[in-house]
Amino acid sequence: MLLLITATAFLFSANCNKNVSIPCRGGNAGYSFSVTSEFSRQNEVYNVGDTIFLTSAFSKTLTNLITNTGVDYSNSINITGNLTTSLMDTSTHLITDAPIGSFIIFPLVGTTSEIINKPEKGVNLFYFENSLTYDLHIGIKLTKKGLFQLAVTDLGSQGIRGKNCTNAEFNMTVTNSNKNLNLFQYAIGYAPDGLLEKRIYCFRVN
150 pLDDT above the threshold of 50: yes
| Residue 1's pLDDT band (cuts 50, 70, 90) | very low
Domain ranges of the chain: 2-205
State the maximum Cα–Cα separation within the chain, in Å, rounded to a whole number.
76
Q: Work out the average pLDDT over 21-46.
A: 92
Mean pLDDT score of the chain? 91
CA atoms within 13 A on the CB side of 136: 27
Q: What is the SS3 assignment for 63?
A: strand
Q: Work out the average pLDDT over 129-150.
A: 98
Q: Work out the average pLDDT over 136-153.
A: 98
| Closest C-alpha among 48, 20, 54 to residue 35 | 54
Q: How many other CB atoms are found less than 10 A from the CB of residue 98?
A: 21
7 pLDDT above the threshold of 50: no
pLDDT of residue 17: 64
Q: Work out the average pLDDT over 180-188.
A: 98
6 pLDDT above the threshold of 60: no
111 pLDDT above the threshold of 90: yes
CA distance 150 to 138: 13
> Which amino acid, residue 30?
G
| Residue 158's pLDDT band (cuts 50, 70, 90) | very high
pLDDT of residue 118: 85
| Residue 193's pLDDT band (cuts 50, 70, 90) | very high
Q: What is the pLDDT of residues 55-89, one digit of tens each?
A: 999 999 999 999 999 999 999 999 999 999 999 99
Q: Work out the average pLDDT over 105-121.
A: 92
Bridge partners of 64?
Answer: 69
Angle, alpha carbons 24-30-194 (nearest 5°): 120
CA distance 141 to 47: 10
Q: What is the pLDDT of residues 10-25, one digit of tens each?
A: 344 444 567 888 988 8
pLDDT of residue 119: 81
Q: Work out the average pLDDT over 33-54.
A: 98
Q: What is the pTM of this model?
A: 0.88
